[in-house]
Amino acid sequence: MNTAGATPTETPLLTVLIAAHNEAEALPVLHPRLREALASLGGVRTRVLYVDDGSSDETWAQLLLLAAGDPQVGLLRLSRNFGKEAALTAGLDHVEDGAVVILDADGQDPPELITEFVRLWREGYDNVHGTRIQREGESWLKRSTAHAFYRVIGRLSATPIPADTGDFRLLSPRSVAALKQLRERHRFMKGLFGWVGYRQISVPYRREPRVAGDSKFGFWRLWNFALEGITSFSTAPLRATTYVGVLTALLAFAFALWVVLKAVLWGDPVAGWPTMMAVILMLGGVQLVALGLIGEYLGRLYDESKQRPIYLVDVWQPGEAGVCLPE
Ligand code: UDP
Ligand code: MG
């Protein structure tokens, strides 16, 4: 059942990609809502692809249940928990053609917005992303640190990374093909989406609270994620240490000159233990910070050099593409 005259291969395919880690409670709530949103889409064939990112709860059983009752559901299970970025990469790699919508499993990204995404895709946009104008049900600390992070990364990164924009977006087939070529192990997807370029547009939306369960990103994980983002997309911190070094050396030189002149002109005794300790400790601190920074980059280089796969697949069960409703 296709739109007048179009053969199945001509009708565009849209895959909704959902990474899930311990989302057994949220999935049964999200899936019917998603199906309803997709049912109203005309002129595209749709498919839903769930990636179970090494869940330790009933997520996989839930997914099997969903797939049993719905032939358009594809399932991918990773061999362990690889993290959301790797899970999304795995999903994208298993999409052979068509566009992709990335959605969170917890209902925080409204599936109803997909209609608008598809409309803009038809207008020729390649990367239609949802930008959060409001975040509900998230702590003040999370909102303010997220706000600050997007501003910092936006300034540091050479390629644009839209502020307050998560992974919730539609990617055109050529954007998906481009992303598949980026095989780095330390993956900061928001940066990679921006790196790809093409025509981008943002759609504002209100981020709702989770439908069930807890966020998988605690403070420590978010902090590491922020470091990942900065080190993956900017070498500005390395450059900054050079400037700190130059500044410290200049200050040290001026101080030394002052100490020598004071001794020569006024015959002052050479400054003693407290000054010495202050200078040594300060220099030591600056050097350790610089070393740590180099270490951050070197560690990532080491990981890349190992050339390990980004994820391993345990089970792959492709779903069928759904029928296409007339527009
Ligand atoms: N997620 C994942 N692997 C992980 C952690 C999270 O696939 O290791 C998924 C999770 O199931 C959800 C999405 O990534 O669908 C976003 O996670 P979460 O809601 O915990 O993040 P938040 O919205 O709090 O930033
Ligand atoms: Mg969430």
As separate numbers, helices (DSSP H) first and strands (DSSP E) second, the chain gives 10, 8
- At residue 165, the 3 state secondary structure works out as strand
- pLDDT tens-digit profile of 14-72? 999 999 999 999 999 999 999 989 988 878 889 999 999 999 999 999 999 999 888 89
Ligand 1 within 6 A of CB of 103: no
Q: Residue 1: what pLDDT?
A: 38
Residue 313 CA to residue 51 CA, distance in Å, equals 10
Taking 70 as the threshold, does the pLDDT of residue 5 lie above it? no
Q: What ipTM is given for this predicted complex?
A: 0.94
pTM more than 0.95: no
Taking 50 as the threshold, does the pLDDT of residue 2 lie above it? no
Ligand 1 within 6 A of CB of 217: yes
CB 101 within 8 A of CB 114: yes
Residue 152 CA to residue 163 CA, distance in Å, equals 10
Q: What is the mean pLDDT of the chain?
A: 86
Atom of ligand 1 nearest to the CA of 103: 15
Question: What does each C-alpha distance from 180 to 189, 198, 216, 309, 313 come to in angstroms?
Answer: 12, 15, 25, 13, 16
Atom of ligand 1 nearest to the CA of 108: 23
Residue 233: pLDDT band with limits 50, 70, 90? confident
Residue nearest to atom 21 of ligand 1 (CA): 215
Phi then psi for 192, rounded to 5 degrees? -65, -40
Residue 270: pLDDT band with limits 50, 70, 90? low
Ligand 1 within 6 A of CB of 109: no
Residue nearest to atom 3 of ligand 1 (CA): 84
Ligand 1 within 6 A of CB of 53: yes
User: Is pLDDT larger for residue 88 or for residue 157?
Assistant: 88
- Can you read off the two tokens belonging to residue 89? 């990469």
Q: What is the DSSP string of 90-147?
A: HHHHT--SSEEEEEETTS-S-GGGHHHHHHHHHTT-SEEEEEEEEE-SS-HHHHHHHH
- Can you read off the two tokens belonging to residue 216? 């998988």
Residue 3: pLDDT band with limits 50, 70, 90? very low
Ligand 1 within 6 A of CB of 143: no
Ligand 1 within 6 A of CB of 84: yes
- At residue 323, the 3 state secondary structure works out as coil
Return the ligand number nearest the Cα of 217: 1
- At residue 163, the 3 state secondary structure works out as coil
Ligand 1 within 6 A of CB of 85: no
Ligand 1 centroid, distance to 105 Cα (angstroms): 7
Taking 60 as the threshold, does the pLDDT of residue 6 lie above it? no
Ligand 1 within 6 A of CB of 108: yes
Q: Residue 111: what pLDDT?
A: 92
Q: Which of 138, 207, 125 is nearest to 166 (CA)?
A: 207
Residue 220: pLDDT band with limits 50, 70, 90? confident
Atom of ligand 1 nearest to the CA of 210: 19
Strands 73-78 and 45-52: parallel
Pocket test for ligand 1, best of 84, 132, 311 (most atoms within 8 A of CB): 84
- pLDDT tens-digit profile of 153-205? 888 888 888 888 889 999 999 999 999 999 988 888 888 998 998 999 999 98
Taking 60 as the threshold, does the pLDDT of residue 258 lie above it? yes
Residue 323: pLDDT band with limits 50, 70, 90? low
Q: Which of 311, 310, 316 is nearest to 49 (CA)?
A: 316
Atom of ligand 1 nearest to the CA of 21: 11
11 CB-side CA count, 13 A: 24
Residue 71 CA to residue 69 CA, distance in Å, equals 7
